[in-house]
A and B are shown apart, each in its own frame.
Chain A
Amino acid sequence: MIDNQKEKSFLKNVKTILDDDIDHMDAGTLSRLKRIRRTAIEKEESNAIGVWHRFRIPVAGLAMVSIMILVMTLCLRGPSGTIATNVLEDVDLITSGENLHFYADLEFYAWLAEEQDNAG
């Protein structure tokens, strides 16, 4: 118990000396530490702005492309809306879960069927 109290007293003395030491740190070191801290904070600010710029361009680009598709769709739409319908079908096709290779091979199968008809 006594030793525990002595240890506490010792640790308190150590802390006091170390705290006193940094309270009287030289002005040059304090100034450099302040500069380091400022640099770190400013770097975080510039990184945050950079991230915003990095995302802003793709988002703006995507918005532009979407608008262009919409405009083209509206401009190209005929009386019956067939071209727009084809565009929409294409979009539907691409976004469907079907294997696109199947559709690419359709032309081959159509040709094969024709050849077989001719042969037969």
Chain B
Amino acid sequence: METIGNVRLKMDQFLASVERRAFRMALFATNDSEDSLDIVQDAMLGLVQKYHSKPEQMWKPLFYRILQNRIRDWYRRGSVRNRFRAWLTNRMQSDSDVPEDPMESIADANGKNPADMAQIGDASKALKVALKSLPLRQQQAFLLRAWEGLSVAETAGAMCCSEGSVKTHYSRAVHTLRKMLEDHWP
């Protein structure tokens, strides 16, 4: 039987392994860093408080289920207000002289040439724009399946929908993204 201290250590390690991706997923959905951090915090607290006694292999789908619920709550709470704010942020970012990703202004230590860096930078920007443009369900299904590596069943559990719905959302997302990014990845 695991000691409480051991479970806490494993929980800490698990949360450290998912926190960055979770933040990015929330950011793609909300386009707001502060709200995304709040969503991730709620998801972490929810998992730790309610499900820490569950088997370790259940933590990931449970965590993402809570995350998805919080993202949906965010949308329900302030759909009009938040969408306006997100639209405004998008407009400000696209008009701003400050690069969206600060790392793009730093020289690559791996020695890639500027042309390669420009291509990667363009592809990265294009991917982010494309992901943000997807409908929420398609966006999250794609990120959970293609990036986080959840199975169809785990994704269905996280998104509280059927496996058929997950497959539909995912295939539509892939189709749309491939079309939007064909200039970068033919």
Contacts and interface: CB of A to CB of B under 8 A. Distances in A.
A25 B20 CA distance: 8
Nearest to B33: A29
Nearest to A18: B147
Contacts, number: 86
B101 A21 contact: yes
B146 A41 contact: no
Interface stretch (B45-53, B78-86, B88-96, B156-164): B45-53
Contacts of B123: 13, 17
A30 B40 CA distance: 12
A40 B15 contact: yes
A45 interface: yes
Given A10-B178, A11-B146, A41-B48, A33 B37 contact: yes
A44 B19 contact: no
Contacts of A39: 41, 45
Q: Chain B, interface size: which category?
A: 35 or more
Interface string A20-39: 11101110011011101101
Output the residue of A7, A14, A22 with the most chain B CB within 10 A: A14
B24 A21 contact: yes
Interface of B: 4, 8, 11-12, 15-16, 19-21, 23-24, 33, 37, 40-41, 44-45, 47-49, 52, 101-103, 120, 123-124, 127-128, 146-147, 174, 177-178, 181, 185
Contacts of A36: 19, 37, 40-41, 44
A18 B48 CA distance: 26
A66 interface: no
B24 A18 contact: yes
B127 A14 contact: yes
A53 interface: no
A19 to B, nearest CB: 8
Contacts of A10: 174, 177-178, 181, 185
